[in-house]
Amino acid sequence: MCLKSLFGITASQNSGSPQSSRRPIESWSAAKELRAGFESHELFEEEILYPEFDQFLSTKVAIGDAFEAHAELDGLLQEIEGTPANNAGWIERIRELKSRMQEHMRAEEEKIFPVARLELAKTRAEELGRRFQERQK
């Protein structure tokens, strides 16, 4: 599940329906779904994408920041899961989660993915150039 679809869940929770009209079980279940979706996002990036992109000097700092953001979001998700959904602060934590996830997603989309795409293309082009030269020998 991508983060954007996770935001759909929180966006609908924030879209005007008062907290008191939501049954706690629905909120709890949405929080579980958020966590499962985020874990999937996190595993894919930390095990596959980030190690690949970490070879590029131009993305190293942003990758480090992304790992930190994942850890902070994990902590927030754990906190939300441990908070009863009918607790007054619960919806505030969900809003904070949404805001931090959007910030993280924006950082990935602006600072990591475009740079990594260029670096990967450059690496691939260099590899093809090398192979071409080897065939010319």
Where on the chain is the footprint of Fe ion (CB under 5 A)? 45
Question: Quick count: other Cβ atoms within 10 Å of Cβ 76?
Answer: 18
Q: What is the DSSP string of 5-41?
A: HHHHHHHHHHSS--GGGS-HHHHHHHHHHHHHHHHHH
Closest separation in Å from C-beta 66 to Fe ion: 5
Closest separation in Å from C-beta 134 to Fe ion: 38
Nearer to Fe ion, 45 or 94 (CB): 45
Closest chain position to Fe ion (CB): 45
Nearer to Fe ion, 45 or 56 (CB): 45
Q: Say how far apart CA 31 and CA 85 lie, in whole Å.
A: 9
Nearer to Fe ion, 28 or 113 (CB): 113
Closest separation in Å from C-beta 89 to Fe ion: 25
**Residue found under tokens 């994942």:** 70
